[in-house]
Amino acid sequence: MTSPEEVKKLRKDGWIVTDPSCNQLRKEIIKDEVYIFREDRISNPETKETFLFEEEIDYKDYDWFDLVEACTPFGYSHKQIDKWITEGEEIELMLECLFEMSY
């Protein structure tokens, strides 16, 4: 599990905490295009054992359908997601949804 000291160090290095409950952080690599996400994921629900899961996500690798499929389970509507894509908004949020849906 990522220690509070490590999270503090990562934040100083440009990482942004997106979900403190699982030490989820993101770092922008290329503005509005490529991000790295990381979080502590539970590998054994009985023992609460965790592992660090990290993934680089490139916005260009996903089409409209991929983004809608990743974001709708979190309660966002097709209309809302379409607006984000069309207007170039909430890219970080859409990529966070993709990250949370990946294994």
Q: pLDDT tens for residues 33-49?
A: 999 999 999 999 999 89
Give the domain range for residue 93: 4-101
Give backbone dihedrals phi and psi of 16, rounded to 5 degrees, phi first.
-115, 130
pLDDT at position 86 over 80: yes
What is the reported pLDDT for 103? 77
Q: Residue 29: enclosing H or E segment and its boundaries?
A: strand 24-30
- Judge contact between 43 and 49, C-beta under 8 A: yes
Q: Does residue 22 register a pLDDT over 90?
A: yes
- Whole-angstrom CA distances from 33 to 8, 28, 47, 74, 88 are 25, 8, 37, 21, 10
Mean pLDDT of 12-25: 96
The pLDDT of residue 36 is 98
Residue 61 has pLDDT above 80, yes or no: yes
Q: What angle do CA 101, 33, 70 make, to 5 degrees?
A: 20
What's the pTM value of the predicted model, to 2 decimals? 0.90
Q: What is the mean pLDDT of residues 5-27?
A: 96
- pLDDT score of 78 more than 90: yes
Cα–Cα dist 95/32, whole Å: 10
Q: Evaluate if residue 16 carries a pLDDT over 80.
A: yes
Domains of the chain: total: 1
